Amino acid sequence: MTDSHRIAAADALQRAEKLCLKKGAKLTDLRRRALTALAVAGRPVKAYDLLPALGDETSPAKPATAYRALEFLEQLGLVHKVAGINAFVLCAHGGGSHVTCLYVCEDCGSAEERVEHAQPGADAPSGFEVERSVVEHYGRCAACAA
């Protein structure tokens, strides 16, 4: 693990702990390990690829375990689901209400997050309450396009 991955993981865990405390949610050891694995990866990760980080030698993690942990983290806004590739990526902003645009490179698999400055749900039908929004764009990152 590089220093930048260590810092990203520590920052993600600190934000998660504060958010869970604020919302009265519990950040279990399993959820911590899932969040750390996403931070260390630094790119979208499929739930099945998280299984080694969530289990141990005597008790391997089951796919449902990974999905439950990721669903919890997604509901808190700590991770985003990249629906087009069925993977998850750490939220760069660590929770809160914002419209996220993900730019996913189809060559190297990296994903970069940008926040739209529009108010979430500004164009929603009357009475509709937006909980989260994610827009995905697919193409090539600058490194792969070069």
CATH number of 99-145: 3.30.1490.190
Give the pLDDT band (50/70/90) at residue 86. Answer: very high
Q: Is residue 116 over pLDDT 80?
A: no
pLDDT tens per residue, range 117-143: 666 666 778 888 877 777 889 999 999
Domain range annotation of the chain:
3-90, 99-145
* Extended strands (E) in the chain: 79-82, 87-90, 99-105, 111-116, 133-139
What CATH fold (topology level) applies to the domain 3-90? Arc Repressor Mutant, subunit A (1.10.10)
End-to-end CA distance of the chain: 27
pLDDT tens per residue, range 13-66: 998 999 999 989 999 999 999 999 999 998 999 999 999 999 887 888 999 999
Tracing tokens 């869970």 back to the chain, one arrives at 20
What is the structure's pLDDT at 100?
77
Q: What gap in Å lies between CA 77 and CA 94, rounded to an integer? A: 7
